Amino acid sequence: MNLGQLRRDFESAGLERTALENDPIRQFERWFIEARNSGIEDVNAMVLGTASANGMPSVRTVLLKSFDEQGFSFFTNYGSRKAQELSANPRASLLLPWLALNRQVVIEGSVEKLPRDQSQAYFSSRPRASQLGAWASRQSSVLDSRETLEERLQALEKHYRDEEVPLPDFWGGYLVKPRRLEFWQGRPSRVHDRFEYSLEDGQWHIRRLQP
């Protein structure tokens, strides 16, 4: 299989500095709305990169659940590998690949846990089956069989049959507080447009990067 022949050219309009918002969150919001309106499935899916205390990186796909001037949030099990790495090394990178639009956004910054009340508010909004799933999964730990997980889920369904599912102590949200964002627009012949927002002394600075 000759993977070197798998390529396509990016036929899309360019990205100019004059078209960018001065605030990267507003620029992200504009692109997010355009991506959602384009019909992209799982438009809030993003790759989360973390690293252990000794620098070993790992990645996985999570869902962006909110964003504002404070940062970008997602939720997970606090016992998972990503949570353990964030505890040891509270920095992360996010990648939102809107490839149907020949676009991607990279976000880098420090990470902190969301307040418990925010995790509670989001957990309460989840479907009941997802709430039970959060209790059933000991995320990232070894599982001897699918049947064990199914039995645990059935037991939880029975236990909480007549009551609301509470927020687990081991589950909640994180906030990625950005210090750098990059907006990438694919262009023909791999001569892409890339713009970097970097936070320096409390101010956002915008630079064009070479492709």
- Is 64 part of any known ligand binding site? yes
- CA–CA distance, 204 with 183 (Å, rounded to integer): 14
190 annotated to a ligand binding site: yes
Given a contact cutoff of 8 angstroms between Cβ atoms, the answer to whether 177 and 106 are in contact is no
Q: In which residue are the tokens 């589950």 written? A: 171
Strand partners, 5: none
Residue 152 assigned ligand-binding role: no
Q: Which of 128, 190, 207, 208 is catalytic?
A: 190
Consecutive H or E run containing 7? none
Distance separating alpha carbons of residues 143 and 209, to the nearest angstrom:
45
Whether 191 has a binding-site annotation, put simply, is: yes
Residue 192 counted as an annotated binding residue: yes
187 is in an annotated binding site: no
**Side-chain-side CA neighbours of residue 81 (13 Å):** 14
The answer to whether 139 is a known ligand-binding residue is yes
126 is in an annotated binding site: yes
Q: Is 148 annotated as a binding residue?
A: no
194 is in an annotated binding site: yes
Q: How many residues does the chain have?
A: 211
Which of 88-110 are b and which e, b meaning 16 or more Cβ less than 10 Å from the residue's Cβ? Answer: ebbbbbbbbbbeebbbbbbbbbe
Cα 26-29-34 angle, rounded to 5 deg: 130
- Please say if 207 is a catalytic residue: no
The residues annotated as belonging to the active site are: 190
Binding annotation for substrate: 65, 122, 126, 130, 190-192
Binding annotation for FMN: 60-65, 75-76, 81-82, 104, 139-140, 184, 194
Binding annotation: 60-65, 75-76, 81-82, 104, 122, 126, 130, 139-140, 184, 190-192, 194
